Amino acid sequence: MSQDLDRAMREGLADAVGFVGGALAGWWLGRQFGIDFIASPDWNGTQIVGLALIVAGCGAGRFLARRLILKDRP
C-alpha cells in the first residue's frame, strides 16, 4: 500500500508542477511573439492562438514532468 501512495503522490506532484510550469512557459512564449492572452480584453484569432499556446504548454509540461519524476520508479 505504501508504494501505491508514494506513486500517487509523485504523479500528483508531477501533474501540478507540469501544468503550472507548462502554462507559464506557453504564456511566456506567446508574449515573445507579441500575443498576451492574459492582459488583452479582446477575443479574436490572435487571442485564440495565445490560449492554444498556454494549453499546449500545460500538456507538454505535464508530459515532461511525468517523464522526469516517474522515470526511475515502477
23 in a domain, yes or no?
A: yes
60 in a domain, yes or no?
A: yes
Q: Say whether pLDDT at 73 is over 80.
A: no
2 in a domain, yes or no?
A: no
pLDDT tens, residue by residue, 13-59: 989 999 999 999 999 999 999 998 888 888 888 899 999 999 999 99
Total domains in the fold of the chain: 1
Contact predicate 60/15, CB 8 Å? no
- What is the extent of the structural domain holding 36? 15-70
3 in a domain, yes or no?
A: no
32 in a domain, yes or no?
A: yes
pTM, entire model: 0.82
7 in a domain, yes or no?
A: no
